Structure 1
Amino acid sequence: MSRATRDTGGLGHPGRLLPGVLFGLSAAIAWAFYNVGVDIGRSDGFSSADLALLRYGGATLLMAPLMLLRRSRMSGLTLPRLALLTITMGPPFAFLFNTGFGIAPLAHAVVISPGMTIIVANLLPVVLDGQKMTLNRKIGMLVLIGGLAAIAADNAPSKMADTATLIGDLCFVGSGTLWGVFTYLLGRWRLPAVEAIGAASATTTVVLLPVYLVFLEPARLPAGMWLEQAFYQGALGGSLAIVLYAAAISRLGSGLAGLFPAMIPPLAVLLAIPIAGQWPSAMQLAGVAIAASGLILSLDLAGALIRRAGYGRDRGTGRS
């Protein structure tokens, strides 16, 4: 099997597409709920450092038992690989994203960070592994980013000076790039999801915890609020969503799986209806529809269903 085929997660086999899509959408839904939790946490008075420690520390505690039971599967996770995963999903990523979120408009975060993830996760396999990108995916990526732009168009304008906004935008470029690299590395190395994510989360916690305890003061809030945020941050954002995302990468390849983080803003718009009672505007609904169309086009779902039907007929007739 060639590297190009191997790195796409074996998508040529029709049975891998549907599970990969379901894993990717499930990850995006979990992250959308996680984003709701972040908004709740910041409104309650938690700092970015509080939430970051709960995310990585919570994930470490949840995954530690599984990592101990399955430590024999961690042989492929060398120290250089662990360091790269920790950089791309750990403190540098969290710092850039949280900094950008604090000084640039939400509208910029909605477009720039997931847009960069899409571009990087799809270009790296082309540049480094010689993969081919289909016309469907190229057009679908543009449509998907267009949907994000439509959603962002209804958000409030910049809340700070232009210089600060530019710095925030650059932070989103950096965070989106790091997440795209993280997506590519998981797909290329084919590491077991729980072990890889757990080890990177543990390394991040070891780095963050001393700094947090020495230089920062935890939010003075009731234990119930800390437990609520531990669920949102550690269980949803730090564990479930990333493991589901890694499962999508293993089945779809890094390029296609890299499209799903861009579905978080559209899903968050829809989740705001039952959770917060906030109905989206016509522009936001149009953005959701456009983004969904871009995802469907990129995945070539119609063609995949046709190929899957043909694959089933061939197996039924014994044709090879």
Structure 2
Amino acid sequence: MELTPAVEPSVGASPRPRRLSRSVVAGLAWAALSVAIFSGWFVVTRFSVTRELGISDIMVLRFGIGGLLLAPMLLWPGRRLPPKAWLEGLVFALLWGMPFVLLVALGLTLTSAAQAASVAPTTMPIFAGLLGWLFLRERQGWARWLGYVAIIVGLAFLIVAGTAAHGAPNPWGIAALLLAAAMWAVYTLLFRRSGLTSIQSAALICVWSALLFVPAYGLLGLSHLGMASAGEVAFQAIYQGILMSVVAVITFNRAVSLLGPSAATAIIALVPAVATLLAIPVLGEWPAPAEAAAIVAIVAGVLLAAKPVRAAEASPTSSKRKEDP
């Protein structure tokens, strides 16, 4: 659903007070649910990959279970997709499927939950905004540009403060997280123009990722599931296979559809603040005072970057469209 441009009041008419449209409110609600799930994912994934389970186990639980749950959405009679949609789904799976999870899990292994959650989600809206501006001619507006700057400054201070308190982060881990953020941003821009629904996109990502990874997981003997407790495996199966593979993808896609890729990805940049708070009781990772201050700067940048752009400024072609007979 696209945002409906506001109708300009006639000359002499008293201006109506601006109110958030229902689509914006719904988009914010979907984005908030995505933030909650994504934030917990950084914490619960680091909890397991630094103990018994490996990255391969996290991936097979996420996409194997997610693929089984969502495959009927693609194969049910009357709901089958054309070959073009399956091809788009393969591209989506390469951007936000198996390679994405592999990169983030690698970053989580080499850094901390707070550092990983601070790099990937916060740089994603910046990548999305820059790519939309460069290739799609999307005008961001001064508030979003100021928000991007605040996010970058806050992220820089967060990494510096974390280095002083916990040691320098692994550069390969940071590079993996930045690459994952860029891939995630490209996905958000492509999804909104694909014509696929949120559920169809989630199903295609899970099914394609399962087809690409599960056979290799079994043939190469990559399983460490037997080394972890049954409770941990069950918890990861629910979080990875249901919450992340199904619920989070659907909620994030709905946020992108209702708010637009730039605003939706900016809200996801709130993840580091939530993940940092969750890491305290779960992982015992306490942020330094300077880290907390940096997170506040990031939140301020998110609020600016998530500000909706006026319809007249959203696209340079919008004004031309209005002038056409």
Query: If the length of structure 2 is used for normalisation, what is the TM-score?
Result: 0.79
C-alpha distance in structure 2 between counterparts of 1:118 and 1:17, whole Å:
18
Q: Deviations over 1:31-65 (max 9, x none)?
A: 11122211232244000000011111121123234
Q: Deviations over 1:58-78 (max 9, x none)?
A: 211232344455863744952
What does residue range 150-299 of structure 1 map to in structure 2 within 5 Å? 150-155=157-162, 156-158=166-168, 165-219=170-224, 220=226, 221-273=228-280, 275=282, 280-299=287-306
Residue in 1 that maps onto 2:131: 124
C-alpha distance in structure 2 between counterparts of 1:253 and 1:32, whole Å:
21
Matched, 1:41 2:48: yes
- Secondary structure in 2 aligned to 1:123? helix
- Which one has the bigger helix percentage? 1
C-alpha distance in structure 1 between counterparts of 2:267 and 2:260, whole Å:
12
Aligned-pair identity (%) = 23
Matched, 1:144 2:151: yes
Does the 8 Å contact 2:66/2:241 carry over to 1? yes
| Aligned with residue 3 of structure 2, among 10, 26, 30 | 10
Amino acid across the alignment from 2:196? L
What's the offset of the Cα at 1:230?
0.4
Deviates more, 1:171-180 or 1:105-114: 105-114
- Secondary structure in 2 aligned to 1:189? coil
C-alpha distance in structure 1 between counterparts of 2:250 and 2:27, whole Å:
12
Does the 8 Å contact 1:104/1:158 carry over to 2? no
For structure 1, the residue ranges without an aligned partner over 5 or more in a row are 1-5, 160-164, 305-320
Does the 8 Å contact 2:269/2:302 carry over to 1? no
- Secondary structure in 2 aligned to 1:131? coil
Does the 8 Å contact 1:110/1:148 carry over to 2? no
Q: Considering only aligned residues, what root-mean-square deviation do their CA atoms show, in Å?
A: 2.8
C-alpha distance in structure 1 between counterparts of 2:246 and 2:160, whole Å:
31
Residue in 1 that maps onto 2:318: none
Residues 253 and 73 of structure 1: is their aligned pair in 2 closer, same or farther, counting only changes over 3 Å? farther
C-alpha distance in structure 1 between counterparts of 2:95 and 2:190, whole Å:
9
Q: How many residues align?
A: 291
Amino acid across the alignment from 1:200? I
- Secondary structure in 2 aligned to 1:268? helix
Amino acid across the alignment from 2:92? L
Amino acid across the alignment from 2:96? M
Matched, 1:25 2:35: no
What's the offset of the Cα at 1:133?
1.1
Does the 8 Å contact 1:143/1:291 carry over to 2? yes
- Secondary structure in 2 aligned to 1:218? coil
C-alpha distance in structure 2 between counterparts of 1:263 and 1:46, whole Å:
27
Residues 58 and 208 of structure 1: is their aligned pair in 2 closer, same or farther, counting only changes over 3 Å? same
Does the 8 Å contact 1:148/1:265 carry over to 2? no
| Aligned with residue 96 of structure 1, among 86, 91, 103 | 103
Does the 8 Å contact 2:128/2:262 carry over to 1? yes
Q: Deviations over 1:149-202 (max 9, x none)?
A: 34434432236xxxxx44433322321111111111112224211111111211
Amino acid across the alignment from 1:203? W
Q: Deviations over 1:190-233 (max 9, x none)?
A: 42111111112111111111111111342223333211110121
Residues 278 and 125 of structure 1: is their aligned pair in 2 closer, same or farther, counting only changes over 3 Å? closer
C-alpha distance in structure 1 between counterparts of 2:111 and 2:221, whole Å:
24
Does the 8 Å contact 1:57/1:201 carry over to 2? yes
For structure 2, the residue ranges without an aligned partner over 5 or more in a row are 7-20, 311-325
C-alpha distance in structure 2 between counterparts of 1:251 and 1:29, whole Å:
18
What's the offset of the Cα at 1:22?
1.6
